[in-house]
Amino acid sequence: MDNCEQEYRRKVGHRAESPKEKGKMLWKKVKYQLVEYHSLPAFLKDNEFILGHYRSEWPLKQIFFSVFSIHNETLNVWTHLIGFLLFLTLTIHTVMKIPYVVDLHKFENVREDLKTSLPLAHVLPSLSSWRSAKFLPNYIPEQFSQRNHSDVCALHSIKENVANTIAPVMVRPITRWPFFAFLGGAMFCLLASSMCHLLSCHSKRLSYIMLRLDYAGIATIISTSFYPPVYYSFMCNPFFCNLYLGFITLLGMGTIIGSLLPVFDRSEFRSIRASLFFAMGFSGVVPILHKLIMFWHQPEALHTTGYEVLMGSLYGLGALVYAMRVPERWIPGKVDIAGHSHQLFHILVLAGALTHYRAGLVYLKWRDLEGC
C-alpha cells in the first residue's frame, strides 16, 4: 500500500481490516443474533409453540441493551416494568395525598360538630361512636368541668380550644401498613418478573436464580393482596385477623421455599405451578365470604367484594392462559413477538393488581370514617 493510498484511507475513515478482524466482527454479528427454538440450550426451552426470536446465552452487556430491541421477551419485560413504575407512582401518591384527602374534609366536620354540640354534657354521648372517644378525657381542660361559666366569651373560647384539640385526635387515619404491604408486594413481583424475563437467557445459573425470584414475587403479591381486605375487614376481631393473615403468610412462605426445589420450574410442572398459585389466590374466598356475612348491610363491603371478584377473575383467567399456552398453541410461530400467552398473563396480572388497589382505597375510606 503506497503513501497515497494510506492517506486516502485515513481521509475517508476507511480502516485497514485484516481477515482475522473481519472474521471476528462477522462472528460477533452472528453470535448476537436471535435464534430459533430448536437451537436453544435445554434450560431455555420452555415453550415449544414460540418458534423463534430467542436470545441465547448472551453476555450481560448485550442483554441489558436488548431491553430496547425486538425479541420474544421484549413485551414481557416492558409490560411488568411499566407496571412497576405505575405502582411506584401510586405508592408515592398514597403516601403524599390519600391521608389528607380524607382527613381535611373530616377534620372540618368534626371541628364544627364539636363547636356546635358543646357544652360537653351534650357532646359526650354523641361521641360514643367515635373510635377515639377514649382519648377524650385527656383533652378536656380541667377548669371546664369544675367551674360555673357565666361568661359567654370564656365559654366560646373554651369551646374553640376543645374543638381544636380533640378534632385532630378523632380524625387520625387508620394504620396504612397492610395497604403498603400490598403495594410493596406488587412492586416486588412486577420488578422481579421484568428482570427475570430480561436476564434469564444469560446462563443456566442466572436463569435458575431469576426464576426463583419470579416465583417468590408471584407468591408475595398473592399473599400481600390478602393484607388490606383481611386487616380492614377484621381489624376489630383480632382472632380472625391473625388467623387469616397468618395462614396466607405461611402459605406464601411455603410456596417460596417449595419453589427452591429444582423440579419446580420444569416445563412439565407448569400446570401444577399454575394450580398452586391459583389455589393460593382462591383461598381468599373464605375471608371474603366471612366479610360479607359480617358486614352484609355495609355498602363498602359489597363495593370491595365487587372489586375482589373482578380481581379474582382477572388472575384466574391469567393463570388459565398461562397454563394452556394459548393462542400460540393454535398458531405456533405467529405470535412470537406480540400476542403470546405470557404477555396476556402479564397484562391480566397487572389489571388484577390495579383493581385491588382500587379496592384498597375503598377499605381505607371506610375505616378512616368509621373505625371499628
Quote the least distance from Cβ 193 to Zn ion, whole Å. 5
Short-list 267, 265, 276, 269, CA closest to 212: 265
- Smaller CB separation from Zn ion, 241 or 349: 349
Q: Considering only residues 245-264, where is the footprint of Zn ion by CB under 5 A? A: none
Q: Which three cell numbers stand for residue 240?
A: 380472625
Looking at the Cβ atoms of 73 and 308, the one nearer to Zn ion is 73
Q: In degrees rounded to 5, what are phi and psi of residue 89?
A: -65, -45
Query: 96: how many CB neighbours lie within 10 A of its CB?
Result: 9
- Residue 182: CB minimum distance to Zn ion, A: 20
From 12-20, 170-178, 190-198, 237-245, span contacting Zn ion (CB under 5 A): 190-198
List, in sequence order, the alpha helices (H) in the chain: 3-11, 19-31, 60-65, 74-96, 98-117, 120-126, 136-139, 142-146, 152-170, 177-199, 204-234, 238-258, 270-282, 285-294, 299-324, 341-370
Q: Are 144 and 120 in contact (CB under 8 A)?
A: yes
Q: State the nearest-atom distance from the C-beta of 346 to Zn ion, in Å.
A: 6
Query: Rounded to 5 degrees, what are φ and ψ at 332?
Result: -55, 135
Shortest CB 191 distance to Zn ion, Å: 12
Q: How many residues bind Zn ion (CB under 5 A)?
A: 1
Neighbours of 178 (CB within 10 A): 23
Query: In whole angstroms, what separates CA 319 from the centre of its chain?
Result: 17
Return phi, psi of residue 360, to 5°. Answer: -60, -40
Q: Minimum CB separation from Zn ion for residue 279, in Å?
A: 19
Q: Which is nearer to Zn ion, 77 or 158 (CB)?
A: 77
Return the range that interacts with Zn ion (CB under 5 A); candidates 32-40, 64-72, 193-201, 258-266: 193-201
Nearer residue to Zn ion within complex by CB, 46 or 57: 46
Of the pair 44, 166, the CB lying nearest Zn ion is at 44
Q: Does 47 bind Zn ion (CB under 5 A)?
A: no
**How far are the Cα atoms of 99, 211, 266, 356 from residue 367, in angstroms, in the given order?**
12, 38, 44, 17
**Residue with smaller CB distance to Zn ion, 44 or 362:** 44
Segment near Zn ion (CB under 5 A), from 5-13, 186-194, 204-212, 241-249?
186-194
193 lines the binding site for Zn ion (CB under 5 A): yes
Q: Which residue number has the CB closest to Zn ion?
A: 193
Q: How far is the CB of 329 from Zn ion (least distance, A)?
A: 18
Cβ proximity to Zn ion, 94 vs 193, nearer residue: 193
Element (H, E) at 202: none
Q: Which is nearer to Zn ion, 193 or 259 (CB)?
A: 193
What CA–CA distances, in Å, run from 208 to 40, 45, 47, 140, 195? 16, 13, 17, 63, 13
Is the C-alpha dihedral spanning 251, 253, 258, 262 positive or negative? Answer: positive
What is the closest distance, in whole angstroms, from the C-beta atom of residue 179 to Zn ion in the complex? 25
| Among the residue ranges 104-112, 191-199, 297-305, 351-359, the one whose residues contact Zn ion (CB under 5 A) | 191-199
- Residues in the site for Zn ion, rule: CB under 5 A? 193
